[in-house]
Amino acid sequence: MLMMLALLSACSSPSVKKEKLAGFKPYSVQQQPQSQRHLPQRPSLQPEFYVGIFPKPAELEPAVGFWRNTYAVWSRSQVAFHDDRYLDIVYEVMTLPGYVGEGLTSVQKELISQRREYWKSQLSGLETKLRYNAALSNNDRDLIARLESTGKPLTTILAGSSERLRSQRGTRERFKRGMEISGRYDLQFRKVFRDAGLPEDLAYLPHVESSFQPAAKSSAGAVGMWQFTKAAAKTFMPGGDRFDQRLDPFASAAGAARYLSYAYAKLGDWPAAVTSYNHGIGGMKRAQNQAGRDFVRIVESYDGPAFGFASRNYYAQFLAAREIANNSLAYFPEGIQYESPALPGQYVAAE
């Protein structure tokens, strides 16, 4: 899903694609069933709060909770419209009509696009009305109540909210499949990190990177389960002259251990080192130099080049994946059919 960058590089965050299809009318709030407009279809689980190797400050819980919902609650047929800075603000969870596969049809894409435009209009309109003390509609009052329920000042949230609107499709099916595949690799991946003197739970990173797809490829040229670029592979996976070692999950895990060990030594803490897997060591050093070593402050205030939505959320995604994988039955009560463990050298993905 996200690529691993070369040693001192920073990444570009993904942009929301917009497709157009004439003549498709979006649902209004009144038209849409209540079940499609509100957050999760089953109660949220109690979040974990902990300190230590992978700390989770309370300020990060809204983001971690958002990614728990994305990974384990919202299906691929559901799309959340949310604030890209305040991730506890989810305006709507829309269920797409008809069959929804891994890819979307042009009609489904247009439905998402038009619903996004609806919410942008609602937010910008409300901001204008409050600025000029204009009359409010019932929809406006409902939206104000939703924003104020977060406990944040309305003026803080509403300012620029239409520009911060983002849509996120659920990935429950994909994450579950990744959990099943992880059974082939988990024991060996943990051994790789343990032997390197690193936290074993770094073995969960492929949930964020590739959903454990061995032959995953990104548009930026990252390849494999651990999403190495060629430049990063040359540095951290030496000896790959005979074949592309990025397609070997075990060789890539060893490369990831080398990278993360180096990143931790340079950056000094795991939130920054894990984030560097997306944003680069150089990018995170710049963030620390500008915002200090407080990771929450970096996430909330750092505005350096390419430190966009993907980089700000990478550590929260990792924490969410870790929580789900450590308590899979709570999130997937139907059970996970883990694949049988493989041995190193037994499996290399086809190009």
Q: What is the pLDDT of residues 258-269, one digit of tens each?
A: 999 999 999 999
**What are the residue ranges of helices labelled H in 99-246?**
106-131, 138-148, 154-158, 172-182, 186-195, 205-209, 230-236
Which tokens in the block code for residue 105?
A: 């049809």
pLDDT at res. 305: 86
**Which band of pLDDT confidence, cut at 50, 70 and 90, is reported for residue 295?**
very high
Residue type for position 317: Q
- CA atoms within 13 A of residue 122's CA, in its CB half-sphere: 23
> pTM for this one?
0.84
| Predicted local distance difference test score (pLDDT) of residue 15 | 32
pLDDT (tens digit, 9 = 90+) per residue, 68-105? 999 999 999 999 999 999 999 999 999 999 999 999 99
The Cα diameter of the chain in Å comes to 70
- CB neighbours of 120 closer than 8 A, spacing ≥ 6? 162, 165
The confidence score (pLDDT) of residue 261 equals 96
Distance CA 96, CA 107 (A): 10
Q: How far apart are CA 166 and CA 80, in angstroms?
A: 8
Mean pLDDT, the chain, rounded, equals 86
